[in-house]
Amino acid sequence: MVEWWSANHARIVDLNLSREDLRDIVATTDAPVVFREGIFDVVKTCTELGLPFLVFSAGLYDVIKEILEQNSLKPHNVHIVSNRMKFDGNDICVGFEEPLIHSFNKNETGVHGAPYQAAIESRPNVILMGDSMGDLYMKDGITHDTSLTIGFLNHDTNIHLKNYMEKFDIVVLDDSPMSFVAEFLKKLEREE
């Protein structure tokens, strides 16, 4: 896994991409990111309630950040745990910061040392949302009193449904909206 990701990162470095290139690629791509319906409401609700919202990805921090910013989904409470590019004085990508984050180690240990670490550690509860079984481990690294897990099963329902139902607290099928998460958060806030 580490060898595969490292080789891909080396290829990205070979492209001599600049920060401006990343902004342009995100802005002009022929295949823009399509967000799950309801995500804007979830992020807005988390922002209004002062809740941290973490995005875990084995992808590229700088690309994810650009996508979120260009779509007004990067308020102060949204944090990204992903592979960060290193840029030189000319804003050209020359490498990647450690640790390498891949599909099997993307979890809350990645927040250690981050400026928002205290905000995460002080939260006794977590809602974890993911679309693979490995995503269940994203909450590893910080102890939480309660965790609610929501699994998004987008394909091969007949193969994976039973396993998702056993492992996740809630399973959302196909590309169903996630607006219920915002409503759930608002309901919790009203009951406090």
What does the domain layout of the chain look like in residue ranges? 2-191
Q: Which residues contact 109 (CB under 8 A, 6 or more apart)?
A: 140, 141
Average pLDDT over residues 40-45: 93
- The pLDDT of residue 27 is above 60: yes
CATH classification for the domain delimited by 2-191, as one of 3.40.50.1000, 3.30.300.30, 3.40.50.1010, 3.40.1010.20: 3.40.50.1000
Average pLDDT over residues 117-125: 79
| Band (24; pLDDT cuts 50, 70, 90) | very high
pLDDT at residue number 110: 64
- The pLDDT of residue 109 is above 70: no
pLDDT (tens digit per residue) in 61-93: 999 999 999 999 999 999 998 899 999 999 999
Higher pLDDT, 39 or 5: 39
Residue 120 near residue 108, CB atoms below 8 Å:
yes
Q: Which residues contact 65 (CB under 8 A, 6 or more apart)?
A: 74, 80
Structure tokens at 113: 């040392």
Residue 70 to residue 191: CA distance in whole angstroms? 34
Residue 158 near residue 137, CB atoms below 8 Å:
no
Neighbours of 29 (CB within 10 A): 10
Amino acid at 93: C
| Band (5; pLDDT cuts 50, 70, 90) | confident
Residue 100 to residue 88: CA distance in whole angstroms? 19
Q: Is 147 helix (H, G, I), strand (E, B) or coil?
A: strand
pLDDT (tens digit per residue) in 137-172: 887 777 778 889 999 998 999 999 999 999 999 999
The percentage of the chain sitting over the pLDDT mark of 90, rounded to a whole number, equals 51
pLDDT at residue number 90: 96
* Residue 102 DSSP code: -
